[in-house]
């Protein structure tokens, strides 16, 4: 069995002093680790969604692979200004700043079942912004999946407060 934790490196003081950045790019380089990640995430999904809402940037990689594995479509959630055509956008707070996410306004028909996917859950701001975009467009958020959770930052609890069921493959203590 592949040890996913061993494939994730920690980069101290990135992007600012005091942050322990959990870098999954080393996991993505490992074929067995990438395959195990996608399979383990897929195993947590009981009802196939219509779409995976994958969050830029590393979430797009995991989300695309998971969409293929589950046999559903891929909804891109990107930084504002990166998508062509009509979009809707949502501001959100990060543990070290703020940003804005966007998606195509016509990405799906109302009532679509959408699973939010990203590489890491910290404060929950990014995932909540993605979920709010999906809901604003008339979609049903069926849950959220992450490779890594940083429980000390409270993101999973914030998602649960908005009735979003979450699952992460790994947890790292601290920030």
Label residue 175 by pLDDT band (50, 70, 90): low
Task: Give yes or no for residue 164 having a pLDDT over 70.
Answer: yes
What global pTM score does this model have?
Answer: 0.96
Backbone angles phi, psi at 105, to 5 degrees: -65, -25
What is the token pair recorded at 87? Answer: 């979009």
**Beta-bridge mates of residue 22:** 10
CA dihedral sign of residues 34, 125, 110, 165: positive
**Could you give all domains of the chain from N- to C-terminal order, each with its CATH number?**
46-171 (3.40.50.2020)
Beta-carbon neighbour count of residue 81 at 10 Å? 9
Chain segment 22-37, per-residue pLDDT in tens: 999 999 999 999 999 9
| 8 A C-beta contact, residue 75 and residue 50 | no
Q: Which helix (H) or strand (E) holds 159?
A: helix 155-161
Of the residues 95, 132, 135, 162, only one is catalytic, namely 95
| 8 A C-beta contact, residue 167 and residue 44 | yes
**Cross-sheet strand order for the sheet of 73-79:** 87-94, 97-104, 73-79, 51-55, 113-121, 140-149, 166-171
Q: Label the pairing between strands 113-121 and 51-55.
A: parallel
Average pLDDT, the chain: 95
Chain segment 137-146, per-residue pLDDT in tens: 999 999 999 9
**Has 165 been annotated as catalytic?**
no
- pLDDT at site 16: 84
Residue holding tokens 């959100």?
92
Residue holding tokens 């996917």?
117
Of the residues 22, 58, 78, 145, only one is catalytic, namely 58
Label residue 19 by pLDDT band (50, 70, 90): confident
**Has 56 been annotated as catalytic?**
no
- pLDDT at site 95: 61
Mean pLDDT of 59-64: 98
Label residue 85 by pLDDT band (50, 70, 90): very high
- pLDDT at site 93: 79
- pLDDT at site 160: 97
What is the token pair recorded at 121? Answer: 């859950």
């Amino acid at each position: 069995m592949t040890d996913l934790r061993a494939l994730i490196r920690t980069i101290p003081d990135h992007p600012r002093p005091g942050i322990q950045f959990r870098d999954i790019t080393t996991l993505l380089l490992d074929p067995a680790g990438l395959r195990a990640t996608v399979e383990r995430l897929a195993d947590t999904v009981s009802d196939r969604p219509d779409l995976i809402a994958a969050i830029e940037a590393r979430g797009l990689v995991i989300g695309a692979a998971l969409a293929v594995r589950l046999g559903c479509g891929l909804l891109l959630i990107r930084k504002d200004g990166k998508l062509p055509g009509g979009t809707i956008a949502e501001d959100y707070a990060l543990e070290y700043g703020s940003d804005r996410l966007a998606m195509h306004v016509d990405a799906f028909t109302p009532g679509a079942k959408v699973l939010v996917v990203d590489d890491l859950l910290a404060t929950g701001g990014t995932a909540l912004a993605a979920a709010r975009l999906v809901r604003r467009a008339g979609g049903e958020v069926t849950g959220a999946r992450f490779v890594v959770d940083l429980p000390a930052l409270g993101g999973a609890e914030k998602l649960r407060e908005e009735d979003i069921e979450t699952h992460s493959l790994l947890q790292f203590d601290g920030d």
